[in-house]
Structure 1
Amino acid sequence: MISAISAAAMALSLISPVSAAAADSTPPDRITVDVVTVNGSGCRPGTAAVAVSPDNSAFTVTYSDFLAQAGQGTAATDFRKNCQLGLRINIPQGFTYGIASADYRGYANLKRNATGVQKASYYFQGHSATGSRTHTFYGPSDDNWQATDTTEVSEIVYQPCGEKRIFNVNAEVRVIAKADAPTSFMTMDSIDGGVNTIYHFSWKTCP
Structure 2
Amino acid sequence: MKSLVALSLPALALSAPLVADTLSAPPAFKINKVVSGGSGCPQGSIDIDWTNNGILPIYFSKDFTATVGPSVTADQSRKNCQINLDISYSAGYSYSVYSADYTGWADIDSGVKGTVVAHYYFSGEQATVTNPLSSFYSSPRLPLRPHSLPIHVPTQDIRLTQPQGSTSLTLQGPFTGKYVKKDDVAVSVWSPCGQQSLLNVNAEVALTPLGSYASGQLAVNKETGRFASQLYIRWKQC
TM over 0.5: yes
Question: How far does residue 19 in structure 1 lie from its aligned partner after superposition?
Answer: 2.0
Q: Please show how residues 120-139 of structure 1 align to structure 2 within 5 Å.
A: 120-127=118-125, 128-139=162-173
Matches within 5 A, 1:91-102: 91-102=89-100
Identify unmatched segments of 5+ residues in structure 2: 3-13, 126-161
* One-letter amino acid matched to 2:222: I
Greater C-alpha radius of gyration = 2
Residue in structure 1 matching 2:56, options 38, 47, 59: 59
Q: Distance in 2 between matches of 1:60 and 1:34?
A: 16
User: Residue deviations 1:119-152, cap 9 Å, x none?
Assistant: 0011111032423211100111111111111111
Distance in structure 2 (CA, Å) of the matches to 1:163 and 1:16: 24
Distance 1:200 1:102 in 2: 6
Residue 47 of structure 2 corresponds to residue 20 of structure 1: no
* From 147, 150, 155, the counterpart of 2:184: 150
Q: Could you tell me the TM-score, scaled by structure 1's length?
A: 0.82
Displacement after TM superposition at 1:191 (Å): 2.6
Deviation at 1:178, TM superposition (A): 4.6
RMSD: 2.3
Deviations 1:14-53 (A, max 9, x none): x952222627623454x43244422211002222111111
The 1-side partners of 2:20 and 2:208 are apart by: 35
Residue identity in the other structure for 1:99: V
1:32-43 pair list within 5 angstroms: 32-43=30-41
Gaps of 5+ in 1: 6-14
The number of equivalent residue pairs is 190
Normalised by the length of structure 2, the TM-score is: 0.72
Match of 1:167 in 2: 199
Aligned to 1:9: none
